[in-house]
Amino acid sequence: MTRYILFIFSLFASFVCFAENTNESNPAESPLLPWTIDIDQAFQSAKTQSLPIYLYVSGSTWCLWCKKMDREIHDQDSFRQKTVGKFVFVHVDLPAGATPNDKTKTLLEKYHVKGVPTVLILSPEGEELARFRYRQIPPEEYADIVIEATEKKVTTSE
């Protein structure tokens, strides 16, 4: 009986640990990248702060490349340290089995998003400045590339 209880406890503990670890690569729940899911709020913040928008479209529950991008880029301190304060971060998630709402569909159509992961760098006014996919490069290099894209094209409207 003791072995049975110990087995059940071990199984439960393993499940709890696994469940906690599955959320680590979800960028919307990352405490270190200030993600929002509200695109209207993001544009308002971008205009107020004169910052470009880093719009990340992913399929968090089914897309292996999205999971790699989260783990290898977004979850890395070197990426966060270079990009936080330089972008308004927006995460548009397309989980398996969920139907996107009308606002999301309109956004995806407007920017011609055909696959995930897709990163769009947008001006505060909504102009597409750059488009990126997953790249197997160091996170600090990815950060440099997206920052460079904004420096070439983003101008403050006054």
Q: Please state the rounded mean pLDDT for residues 9-24.
A: 42
Domain count, the chain: 1
Question: Which domain, by its residues, includes 113?
Answer: 25-153
Instruction: Answer whether residue 131 is part of any domain.
Output: yes
* 134 within domain boundaries: yes
Bridge-based pairing of strands 35-36 and 88-93 is parallel
pLDDT at 79 over 90: yes
Helix ranges, 30-76 (H) = 39-49, 64-69
Model confidence at 46, pLDDT cuts 50, 70, 90, reads very high
Indicate if the pLDDT at residue 156 is higher than 50. Answer: no
Question: Does 117 reside within a domain?
Answer: yes
Q: Do the domain assignments include residue 20?
A: no
| Cβ atoms of 58 and 93 closer than 8 Å | yes
Does 69 map to a domain? yes
- Which positions ≥6 away from 153 have C-beta within 8 Å? 123, 127, 129, 130
In a domain, 103, yes or no: yes
pTM of model > 0.85: no
Q: What is the DSSP letter of 50?
A: T
pLDDT of residue 157: 38
Instruction: Tell whether 3 is covered by a domain.
Output: no
| Averaged pLDDT, 63-83 | 95
How many whole angstroms separate alpha carbon 46 and alpha carbon 40?
10
Domain CATH number, residue 34: 3.40.30.10
Determine the Cα–Cα distance for residues 39 and 89; give it in Å rounded to an integer: 10
Name the nearest CA neighbour of 30 among 85, 89, 86, 102.
Answer: 89
Question: Does some domain include residue 54?
Answer: yes
